[in-house]
Every structure is written in C-alpha cells, then in structure tokens.
Amino acid sequence: MKKFYPICFILLALSACSTSSTGRKQVSLYSNAELTQLGITSFEQMKKETPISKHKATTDFVSCVANAITKNVSKTAHQGEWEVVVFDSEQINAFALPGGKIGVYTGILNVTENQEQLAAIIGHEIGHVIEHHANERLSANKLSNVGMAVAAMALGASEIDNKNLWVAGLGIGIQYGLIMPYSRSHESEADIIGQELMARSGFTPKASVQLWKNMSTLSKETPPEFMSTHPSNTTRIKQLSTHLTTSQPYYLAQKNAGNTHQCIKPKDIPKPPTAKNKKQ
C-alpha cells in the first residue's frame, strides 16, 4: 500500500492552487491567456458548424438581456465587449466561454418565459466564466489522466491480484469522486453567482427559482444526484430560494434607482429545423 502514497502526494500537491469567490479550493493549471484563446477558437468553430438565427426580434431580445448583464461583469473576467450569438437549434441550452463569448440556443427560449428567466440563464453561464470553471474542468481532466497513469504504473510493479479490476475501480472513483462532484459544485456556484449578477443588473432574482421549476417539468427521468454532473432540480430550487435573502436587496436597489429593463420576448420565435427537416 505504500506505493500508493506517491499518487496521493502528486494529486494533493497539484490541488489547492487558488480559491474561488465562495472560498472553495480550485485546481487551475492553465493561464487566462490559454483559456481565452481556447474559448475564442471554440466559439468560432461553433459558428461555422451551427446555424445562427436570422430572426432579428429574437436576437435583439437576447442581446438586450445579455448586454444588461455583461455591463456588470468585472473586467477581471473579460476585457472588452462580449459577443452574443443566438444559435438556431432545438437544444435547451446556453453557454458562456472565456474570451467574452455567449451562445444562446433558440430551444431554451421555449423554457424561459420572460426577460428575467433568460437573465437567470445568462447570469448562470457567465458565472462559470467568472469563477474560472473551464480552467478547473480542464485541470481536473488532466489530473485524472495523470493519476490513472501513475496508478497503473504502481499497480504494475506491485503484487496485487486482479490489477485490472483495481485500475477500473480507480477510474470509477475518479469519475464519481472527483470529476462529477466538481461539476456539481460548479453548477451550484454558478447558480448563486448568476442570481446575484442578474439582481445587480436589474432583473428580479426570484425568476431564477421559477426557471428551475420550469426545468423540473422537463426532467421526468434523471439519474441519482450523486451520479450526475448537475445538482437535482430540487436542490437548485432550494439553494436559490435560500439565497434570495442576499440577492433580493441588490435588485431592490437597482429598481429604486430606476435601473430595470424592458427586453421584450417576441411571440413569433421561429422553431429551428428538426433533424428530419434538415435531411429533406
């Protein structure tokens, strides 16, 4: 068993490189410049591969909400203007990337009922950028690959029976004990950061709770929370509801100052072409 100590030492030595705004230890093996370039490259590739919406009312609505939020994002997260693109896709998804890139799929506009709920989505996605979650995820993947390689070498030199089963077991341990919990903590962190960000931007934070109630109606069959990269909808609703005591005063301050918004969601958002229609 002593041969496993070097493995633990390597993983521990490479961890706790930084601390998030919530006080959580972070693993960050990449520079901001590397992540920015990766985000820009990925976004450009996505624009080539995924149709971009040409419906002006839809793009204006999304840009109205996104621009209101990005004005309140620290320059430490991104210097300069943010690029916002609406992708013509059925996916119920959105994302933000290092380098100031925001993508919103038209599919998610069927779930977000108004500007406030879209603000919750965009605030959440920008929260990932603010907290350097992309860096953590890439770093965690690198560490897990290194750990598996070192573990396999250590087991290969040992006299342990059923070495292949041990290696397989380590893989499961890393997947459910490292990668997925990191992802769940990222999502919870982005929920909280996003709720505060939308409130500071003049959107009522209560909408984030309703958003996940909407999401829960779409998730009839989900895996157990400990085997998922996302917290359960129930957990998210509870966490966001509890945090309203912190975020609501930010919104009220903006409301009293007259810093609210009128981003009108169009009623005639075109449905993106289905896979069947594309083939035709």
pLDDT digits (tens, 9 = 90+) for 88-141: 999 889 999 899 999 999 999 988 999 999 999 999 999 999 988 777 777 666
Residues carrying an active site annotation: 125
How many domains, in total, are found in the chain? Answer: 1
Burial of 128 (0-12, 13-18, 19+ CB in 10 A): buried
Query: CB 25: neighbour CB atoms within 10 A?
Result: 10
Q: Among residues of the chain, what percentage have pLDDT more than 90? A: 46
Q: Tens of pLDDT along 36-47?
A: 888 889 899 999
Residue 7 lies in a domain: no
Higher-confidence residue of 273 and 172: namely 273
Alpha helices for 111-179 (secondary structure H)? 115-130, 133-156, 163-174
Q: Which whole number is the average pLDDT over 157-167? A: 44
Query: Which distant-in-sequence residues (6+ apart) come within 8 Å of 83 by Cβ?
Result: 43, 100, 101, 102
Domain range for 37: 12-262
Q: Which residue has the tokens 């009312």?
A: 57
pLDDT value of residue 131: 87
Residue 2 lies in a domain: no
Q: Tens of pLDDT along 26-81?
A: 666 667 788 888 888 989 999 999 999 999 999 999 999 999 999 999 998 999 99
Provide the whole-model pTM: 0.78
> Any idea what the Cα angle at residue 217 is, between residues 213 and 218, rounded to 5°?
120
pLDDT value of residue 179: 46
**Structural tokens at position 246:** 């912190």
pLDDT value of residue 38: 85
Residue 5 lies in a domain: no
Strand ranges inside the chain, DSSP E: 18-19, 25-26, 83-87, 94-97, 101-105
Q: Tens of pLDDT along 166-218?
A: 344 444 444 444 445 557 788 889 999 999 999 999 999 999 999 999 888 87
Residue 277 lies in a domain: no
Residue 258 lies in a domain: yes
Residue 192 lies in a domain: yes
DSSP 8-state symbol, 217 = H
Chain CA centroid to CA 179, Å: 14
Give yes or no for a contact between 269 and 109, defined as CB atoms under 8 angstroms apart: yes
Residue 245 lies in a domain: yes
Residue 274 lies in a domain: no
